[in-house]
């Protein structure tokens, strides 16, 4: 099936295809796996590459069985040589292929920064658009089993700072499939950041292929007193916070950014102008982070609507601890959002 025949969903409301498909619920991990499988079936130029991609675990289950279905020429394990193999993937993309490079952790990407920043992000610009780099890089963030400072980082802000890249952060199974298919079919190098705590989330996801393009956020819950704009796993903490706040008579609007480069400035501004208060919840640190950018957009374009200073709910500016006790203190959850909302509406 040609990419042009796959319907794109650029609306702010998920669109489901077919009456029977609406009832089908699958996990986030299976939504990703289905997207990869459909991309491989749709286009012979698509191939997957990554460390451990063909292991029995299949990158948290997201690539399980794909090698058996499509063969090791299209689903291939690679050496522990992140920088070199990223260069190979970029070269393949420039030559007309559509590689999906899977990194088990985002912490491995700093070893590839020259390739990603100076090559993948720049080739189209330097050639006046004549050369495209349709490369998708999947990278995983989030806490786990005491993975500590070198295996638990949320580095989306590093890549959101680079012109020429796109950075998507799907929070739901529906978005995971649609954003990934949109990325693979597109012509821009894209970093797809997945939180490991999302893989068991379930949602209605149509079996029919569909695409969501980067740059469109989504209102997950309507509200009138305060806007909670969030990314990735923090969307769920924001929804929990909104439910708690409702019991106290505070109506919170929850916005899922879905992508941080490009960012849906129109949705951010409209929500802030509606509620007059803004909390930003991100999985990364606050300094020069995604939350800082959202706060700046609100300050620059909706300042007169703000009734209180913007609050950011992010990680502390310190490396991630390994201790489970320290992890509980390190990672903010819905209680931090609720506390901030109470103070802003008092």
* Catalytic residue ranges: 151
Spatial separation of the C-alpha atoms in residues 297 and 274, rounded to whole Å = 15
SS3 49: strand
SS3 64: coil
Spatial separation of the C-alpha atoms in residues 346 and 202, rounded to whole Å = 36
Backbone angles phi, psi at 152, to 5 degrees: -135, 15
Question: Which long-range CB contacts under 8 A does 336-340 form with residues at least 24 apart?
Answer: 337/228, 337/237, 337/238, 337/241, 337/279, 337/281, 337/313, 338/241, 338/244, 338/245, 340/279, 340/311, 340/313
Q: Which residues contact 128 (CB under 8 A, 6 or more apart)?
A: none
SS3 124: helix
Residue located via tokens 């079936």: 41
Burial of residue 313 (number of CB atoms within 10 Å: 0-12, 13-18, 19+): buried
Q: Which residues contact 72 (CB under 8 A, 6 or more apart)?
A: 54
SS3 295: helix
Q: Which residues contact 148 (CB under 8 A, 6 or more apart)?
A: 319, 320, 321, 322
């Amino acid at each position: 099936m040609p990419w042009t025949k796959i319907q794109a969903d650029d609306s702010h409301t998920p669109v489901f295809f077919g009456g029977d498909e609406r009832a089908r619920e699958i996990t986030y991990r299976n939504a990703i796996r289905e997207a990869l499988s459909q991309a491989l079936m749709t286009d012979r130029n698509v191939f997957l590459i990554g460390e451990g991609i063909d292991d029995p675990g299949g990158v948290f289950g997201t690539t399980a069985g794909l090698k058996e279905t499509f063969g090791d020429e299209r689903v291939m394990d690679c050496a522990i040589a992140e920088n070199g193999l990223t260069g190979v993937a970029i070269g393949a993309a420039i030559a007309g292929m559509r590689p999906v490079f899977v990194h088990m952790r985002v912490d491995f990407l700093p070893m590839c920064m020259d390739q990603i920043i100076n090559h993948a992000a720049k080739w189209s610009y330097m050639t006046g658009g004549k050369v495209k780099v349709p490369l998708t890089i999947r990278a995983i963030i989030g806490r786990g089993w005491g993975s500590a400072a070198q295996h638990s980082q949320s580095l989306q802000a590093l890549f959101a700072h680079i012109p020429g890249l796109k950075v998507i952060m799907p929070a739901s199974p529906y978005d995971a499939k649609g954003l990934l298919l949109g990325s693979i079919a597109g012509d821009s190098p894209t970093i797809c950041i997945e939180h490991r705590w999302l893989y068991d989330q379930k949602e209605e996801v149509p079996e029919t292929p569909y695409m969501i393009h980067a740059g469109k956020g989504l209102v997950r819950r309507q509200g009138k007193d305060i806007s909670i704009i969030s990314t990735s796993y923090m969307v769920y903490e924001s929804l929990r916070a909104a439910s708690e706040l409702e019991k106290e008579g505070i109506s919170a609007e929850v916005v899922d950014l879905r992508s941080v480069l490009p960012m849906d400035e129109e949705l951010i501004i409209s929500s802030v102008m509606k509620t007059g208060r803004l909390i930003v919840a991100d999985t990364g640190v606050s300094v020069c982070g995604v939350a800082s950018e959202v706060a700046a957009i609100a300050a620059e374009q909706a300042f007169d609507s703000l009734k209180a200073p913007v609050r950011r709910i992010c990680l502390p500016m310190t490396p991630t601890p390994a201790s489970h006790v320290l992890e509980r203190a390190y990672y903010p959850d819905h209680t931090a959002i609720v506390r901030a909302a109470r103070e802003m509406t008092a």
